[in-house]
Amino acid sequence: MLLLLVLAATAMAVARPAFADPAWGVKDRGSTKYPAGGVAAAAGQAGSQEWPLVEDNFRVLGHSDLGGLDTNGDVWVHGAYAYVGTWSAPCDGRGVKIVDVSDLENPQLIGRLGARPGTSAEDVVVRRVSTPFFSGDLLALGIQRCGDDPALDEQTFGVEFWDVTNPTKPTKLGELGVTNGGGGVHELDLFARGNNVYALLATPFSEWFDPVPGGDFRIVEATNPRAAFQVGEWGAGMQGFAPGPFWGQGSFGATFAHSARASADGLQAYVSYWDLGVLTLDISDVTSPTLVTRTRYDADDDGDAHSVAPYTTVNGRDLLLQNDEDFDPRSPAYIRFGAGGFGIGSESPGAPALWLEPENRISAAVVKAANQGCEASDYPASTAGRIVVVLTLVDEEPACLQQEQEAAAEAAGAVAVVHEVMSETTSPQWSDFGEVGIPVLFTDEATAEGMVAAGFATLEAQQPSWGFLRIFDAATGEQVSQFDDLPFVRELPSNEGAWSIHNTEVRGNRSYSSWYSHGIVALDLSPLERSFANAPRLVGQFVPEGGVSTTPFLPSGVPNVWGVAVREDGIVFASDMTSGLWIVEPLGQARGGRR
């Protein structure tokens, strides 16, 4: 559990990218224009700091490296200025970068705001508001703890409000701490409704780990930004949806609020709640958010609802474009046994992928280790060549680490390990791993005992998948379409890079997604107009050059586009984690579809 807690407290701020092993192979460079060589060829330049520019139906207008001092987070554009957040590592607390983009070909970094040691400031929103207490351009900034300095244990983390009516002289108006000693606000939104202004906050895992627990989703009234206060909250645990923070599905099963977004009328909130899907909450009464519906995953999906963009078709159908951020391409595996016995298993990231086995599966006799499978003596002589089931405790102290169980099983000659996870609060998944040369799965008690009773089982991998775009009916929460048709997104092994989607924004019937090493992906949404929605159509792609990394978590030379913002005139702003701010113009079909 310790490693999962560390991931939750630090890397889960973005589900830290796990870059594919370059030893898995790279393609020839080919053309630098997509799709004739395109991003597949560009991936061949990973690590060289010469990843070539891809401009398919896009034209670069301007670029700024933003000084190259830190790692970039999200981007927001308001008027003639762009605001770029700062990702956690290297935890230098530099706050938000302010960029003058009045000359699109020559963006200029003019200042910063929100600098605070031991924090990151990843998400930022600016709105024009007018209340009896403040009129002007109001900026809301999410503040998260970053780093292990003990002095941070006594601090609170939350949201800051700034007057950026004159961006050359930003003025801090106020702040509100919402978590104590850790956590903070990862993503947020800001909106006006009537005479009031509200901020919607996603405070990941605060319900589970904060000393003063509150729902992972918070509503703050900022009508007077100098004296903001919390008015409402919602939490999956308090509502009975999850017994613990690491309850979910896939290789990182978890239930926490990652992102929050207001509807256009400010009466609903869309809260991306990882494996629980995207929740639509009625916030007409901000003191009592109420669940309306949520998007739903199938049992064999990997979950990971990261963020969402609403979209209404010309026929008036409301859809949700949901970004699933997933950096482990191993999909949940099928476990078959006996006469129709069936279960689901998640794989360990430290073991060989089941997908790489002949025919993507292992079929073998099944034995169960004695005790908890920590010692060589726990394995019968018949273990060699078989799948071994080991009892794995979570809610009480185990006799040994998972990696010790796996090493003992491999030494006994097992061809695969299946952990029988016993927990009322945590779904079957890894918590630690070491070097092991056989596939490792985690499953529930019923499936594991069914395997043992049957005496024979087949472990079958699904097609791999990084995170991609799912489209849901907003009224029912049912999935109606998806888009995953890009190089490497459905491949294992993959080229070096991070091939998951991150954020999406909509302009007319075009969507623009920040897709890490795939850059900005432009989709035509008109196929969704049909009664039986077809998949969106790829109409353009922009991939920036790689930059120089300031953190050990990201390689230099590899594009990692985090944020995307689309101005009213259709100009797209992209924040790359290492190379800075890119300003691009969609061309041809990538620009079409205004309405």
Q: What does the pLDDT read at residue 33?
A: 28
Residue 27 has pLDDT above 70, yes or no: no
Residue 162 φ/ψ, nearest 5 degrees: -130, 145
Identify the band that residue 5 occupies on the pLDDT scale cut at 50, 70 and 90: very low
**What share of the chain in percent tops pLDDT 70?**
91
Dist CA 283 CA 269 (whole Å)? 7
Identify the band that residue 50 occupies on the pLDDT scale cut at 50, 70 and 90: low
Q: What does the pLDDT read at residue 488?
A: 97
Identify the band that residue 594 occupies on the pLDDT scale cut at 50, 70 and 90: low
- Alpha-carbon torsion 418, 422, 427, 433, what sign? negative
Residue 14 has pLDDT above 70, yes or no: no
Q: What is the pTM of this model?
A: 0.92
Q: Which H or E element spans position 461?
A: none
Please count the residues of the chain.
Answer: 595
Residue 30 has pLDDT above 50, yes or no: no
Q: What mean pLDDT comes out for the span 62-72?
A: 97
* 100 against 4, higher pLDDT: 100
Residue 4 has pLDDT above 60, yes or no: no
Residue 44 has pLDDT above 90, yes or no: no
* Radius of gyration, alpha carbons of the chain: 24
Q: What does the pLDDT read at residue 1?
A: 33
CB crowding 334-365: b at 16 or more within 10 Å, else e: bbbbeeeeebbbbbbbebebbbebeebbbebe
Residue 37 has pLDDT above 60, yes or no: no
pLDDT digits (tens, 9 = 90+) for 316-343: 999 999 999 999 999 999 999 999 999 9
Residue 366's DSSP bridge partners are: 387
Dist CA 299 CA 367 (whole Å)? 26
Residue 450 has pLDDT above 60, yes or no: yes
Q: What does the pLDDT read at residue 593?
A: 62
Q: What mean pLDDT comes out for the span 562-581?
A: 98
Identify the band that residue 531 occupies on the pLDDT scale cut at 50, 70 and 90: confident
Q: What does the pLDDT read at residue 22?
A: 25
Q: What mean pLDDT comes out for the span 439-465?
A: 99
* 4 against 324, higher pLDDT: 324
DSSP string for 335-401: EEETTTEEEEEEEPTTS--GGGSGGGEEEEEEEE-STTS-SGGGS-GGGTTSEEEEEEESSS--SS-
pLDDT digits (tens, 9 = 90+) for 255-293: 999 999 999 999 999 999 999 999 999 999 999 999 999
Residue 445 has pLDDT above 50, yes or no: yes
Residue 401 has pLDDT above 50, yes or no: yes
Q: What does the pLDDT read at residue 406?
A: 98
Q: What does the pLDDT read at residue 532?
A: 73
Residue 503's DSSP bridge partners are: 514
Domains of the chain with CATH codes: 333-460 (3.50.30.30)
Identify the band that residue 39 occupies on the pLDDT scale cut at 50, 70 and 90: very low
Residue 61 has pLDDT above 60, yes or no: yes
